Chains A and B, each alone.
Chain A
């Protein structure tokens, strides 16, 4: 089962290597990873997605907690958190495809962020399903290049928000 785990760590050199090394050293896989400073510049937040049965995930959580530079580990439960990733995609833009690209971008509430005579570069944010959907629809138009961030995630507010 997929788990999204957020890890608050000291914002110091080498901490990411400790976290990543914990996974590689035990043969666990990280499917996605993103890291950035928090409001407190001495603390960073790592969001990572991994997969495993209950026992493996329990070990992962305990091992993460054991690292000296780790301040807090949270295993987010499906449905109770918001997750987003950012997609940048460069698409072939011909006279025929341009309207379709713009229509898709509009539907997915994306943005065209760069234009060249032959390409549009589009930015979309959303959960995994949305990113997958937009990519599927753009592909027939001729996708030249794709980059995606790892997932960032946050628990929902108390009463849930749209």
Chain B
């Protein structure tokens, strides 16, 4: 049957199992919107294209499905760049469709033209300019395949107007065939055995788990592996939730704002099993003092991640889930039966580190501490919710004080550190899971970066609860100024901020405020009881810092504890 490009797009989305689309219409994609008008695909009209991409990203992280966004040409397309770069750094599977001027006008500086394929080349896993409607179905198939397979990532498909309105016979391919793209899923069994032999010889092992564990759905296997062998586990910011945060084997996050025991354990371990983690500089600190005495095993599906920053003794290229499953199978053997008992002294040492420095704060009677808000959010929800964060102090307090026991409940921009990510991402997650509680932990600076999406939240009844830890500062930058620039707070004081309660009301949402510690729980309860979106404005201590902290470039064992 002959279909137009627009019809092919919508039909293909259905074939890929897409139920929800985040987008913003414009001139050249009008024909697509016309087809969507009659379609049963749910379209969420955001208020800024950046919001559409972050929402697709949040949808993908929470659900494990590919998130999809649709935007128009030129400014519509360029507004997606930050969202694409965010998803790229955190390996999130999304597909973004952008409109483009007709092929005969490309390169002529036509109205609303931008070379979006050129612009997004370094921040997408791959991108396509569709030059002929006959290639469209195949390219959509390839785009989804690329986004979700191997190391996942964002893919952009640029659709010129003549492709959108052109007609061709529609056949959706069963499979994508790309001769240059063959991800390695199975880890090399020889390497896996070598890694386990090194583990067997160790007495102070640590598992260092990253976002790849979440992405490959390997949490359950990894948890079983660690518990069976009694190996302590630390996680990166992206890996939080991949191992139960309440498990006694969990060391907490490591790195710049990691726990004392996690950083000490990694510094003193004799074996480090890195799974789906990429040795980010925020994790390793000074490289030559990172796990200096350890034999390092690195499991990653992306060979470029291996030995990029840290020398690796035993590399294993493969899908984390496959590799961990194989490892788990092998440690069922008799020789491993009581092996975990060898680790008793090591686990005791870790307990001693925990007791030497517990993460804590001092909640007095007058001023709300931001950590207190985060802890109460956890207590009231019992952690049964999806948490998104913005970027900065709010993000680190959330990482430190919100105990995550499940994967895919933690949406945060780890790699790019995108302020303004959390709220639209939370909307995406809420669209995927309408019945779950979704909370965005925000700062007063970050929330103002994509606050316009409150309109989206209200229009589509996405009842996200925003907790603003309002300290009147760009807090993390202020903290660095305090520590490294002799308290010269150059342009980090937000001298004017909107009244967040009235702002919420202006959008038709609920606004609540807490100014004293005893009001915090009541505000949280009221927010959760409200059926629609809520902004909770918590007036918190403006001077509070995030600790522990490792100054950039220092070894992770040299923490400012405060």
Contacts and interface: CB of A to CB of B under 8 A. Distances in A.
Interface of A: 9-10, 13-14, 17-18, 21, 25, 55, 58-59, 62-63, 65-71
B304 A18 contact: no
B118 A17 contact: yes
A18 B129 CA distance: 14
Given A14-B129, A17-B121, A71-B180, A55 B307 contact: yes
A68 B304 contact: no
Contacts of B180: 9-10, 67-71
8 contacts: A9-B180, A14-B118, A14-B129, A17-B118, A59-B304, A65-B303, A67-B180, A71-B180
Nearest to B125: A68
Contacts of A17: 118, 121
A21 B118 CA distance: 10
B307 A58 contact: yes
Interface in B145-202: 146, 178-181
A63 B117 contact: no
Given A62-B304, A68-B180, A69-B180, 18 more contacts: A9-B180, A10-B179, A10-B180, A14-B117, A14-B121, A14-B129, A17-B118, A17-B121, A18-B121, A21-B121, A25-B122, A59-B308, A63-B304, A66-B304, A67-B180, A68-B146, A68-B178, A71-B180
B375 interface: no
Nearest to A8: B180
B405 interface: no
B280 interface: no
Nearest to B303: A62
A71 B181 CA distance: 8
B126 interface: yes
Contact of A66 (B118, B121, B302, B307): B302
A21 B179 CA distance: 21
Contacts of A21: 121-122
Q: Which label, helix, strand, loop or mixed, suits the secondary structure of the A interface?
A: helix
A69 B127 CA distance: 11
Contacts of A9: 180
B308 A68 contact: no
Contacts of A66: 302-304
A68 B129 contact: no
Contacts of B118: 14, 17
Contacts of A10: 179-180
Contacts, number: 36
B187 to A, nearest CB: 17
Contacts of B181: 68
Interface of B: 117-118, 121-122, 125-126, 129, 146, 178-181, 302-304, 307-308
A18 to B, nearest CB: 6
Lowest 5 A-B CB distances belong to which pairs? A62-B304, A68-B126, A71-B180, A68-B181, A25-B122
B92 to A, nearest CB: 17
A68 B150 CA distance: 11
B140 to A, nearest CB: 15
B106 to A, nearest CB: 11
A18 B287 CA distance: 30
In this complex, the member of A18, A59, A62 whose beta carbon has the largest number of chain B beta carbons within 10 angstroms is A62
A55 B308 CA distance: 8
Nearest to A25: B122
A142 to B, nearest CB: 42
B128 to A, nearest CB: 9
Nearest to B126: A68
Nearest to B150: A66
A69 B126 CA distance: 9
Nearest to A18: B121
A10 B181 CA distance: 11
A69 B146 CA distance: 12
Contacts of A59: 304, 308
In this complex, the member of B118, B121, B180, B304 whose beta carbon has the largest number of chain A beta carbons within 10 angstroms is B180
Contacts of A67: 180
A125 B146 CA distance: 42
B127 to A, nearest CB: 9
In this complex, the member of A55, A66, A68 whose beta carbon has the largest number of chain B beta carbons within 10 angstroms is A68
Contacts of A14: 117-118, 121, 129
A25 B179 CA distance: 25
Nearest to B127: A14
Nearest to B118: A17
A10 B142 CA distance: 15
Nearest to A58: B307
Contacts of B302: 66
A59 B179 CA distance: 22
A62 B126 CA distance: 16
B157 to A, nearest CB: 13
A134 B351 CA distance: 73
A24 to B, nearest CB: 9
B402 to A, nearest CB: 34
A44 to B, nearest CB: 12
Contacts of B129: 13-14
Contacts of A55: 307
Contacts of B121: 14, 17-18, 21
A152 B113 CA distance: 37
A135 B162 CA distance: 52
B324 to A, nearest CB: 23
A69 B180 CA distance: 6
A65 B303 CA distance: 9
Contacts of B122: 21, 25
Contacts of A63: 304
Contacts of B146: 68
A4 B117 CA distance: 29
Contacts of A70: 180
